Amino acid sequence: MSTRSTLILTILLIMVATAFSLAAYPRLPDLMASHWGANDQVNGYLPRFWSAFLTPLISLGMLVLFLLIPNIDPMKVNIAKFRETFNAFIVGPGWQGTVPRGLTQISSPIKAVLVIGRTLVENDSDIPTAYGLASQIQMTPLSQR
C-alpha cells in the first residue's frame, strides 16, 4: 500500500472510531472497567470520556508522530531512497495474483513469515531517523485489503 493510501485509510479508521465513540458516549456509565486482575475481578476504572476516546486519541497522536518524524529528519532523502524497500508485499508459496501498485513482491517458500526490521544507527544523531523508518513498517493480510 502506498504511503498516501495508508494515510487515507488511517484517517478513515480514526474517523470511524471517533464516530463510534461519539454515538456510544451518551449510553456509557460515568466509570467504566478498564483493568481486570488475574482473578477476573475488575480492579481499575476510567472515566467515561477516556474510556470512549482514548483509542481514537492515541491513534491520532501516533499518526501525527509518524507524519512529523520524517519531516524533521535531517536525512529524509534516505527515507525516500529506500521507500520501495519499505513497501514490501510478502506472499506465500503458490500465490497467484497481482502485486498492488507501489509494492515490491517478496516470495516466501513457506506460509509462515517472520519479519525483523533492522536500521543502521552509526551515532546518536541517527536514532530519530531509525525510529522514523521503523514506525513505517506495516503488515496487513491480503484478506484485510
The set of residues, in sequence order, having a beta carbon less than 8 Å from that of 143 and lying 6+ positions away, is none
Run of H or E including 144: none
The set of residues, in sequence order, having a beta carbon less than 8 Å from that of 60 and lying 6+ positions away, is 14
pLDDT for 103 beyond 80: no
Cell of residue 28, nine digits: 456509557
User: Which DSSP symbol is given to 25?
Assistant: G
pLDDT for 84 beyond 60: no
| pLDDT at res. 79 | 65
Cell of residue 17, nine digits: 472510531
Average pLDDT over residues 90-111: 80
Question: pTM for this one?
Answer: 0.51
Per-residue model confidence as pLDDT tens digits over 107-144? 888 877 776 666 767 788 888 888 888 777 777 766 66
| pLDDT at res. 117 | 66
pLDDT for 25 beyond 90: yes
| pLDDT at res. 65 | 83
In whole angstroms, give the CA distance from residue 42 to residue 4.
41
Per-residue model confidence as pLDDT tens digits over 29-80? 999 998 998 888 999 999 999 999 999 999 999 888 878 777 776 666 666 6
From 116, 142, 120, select the one nearest 129 (Cα to Cα): 120
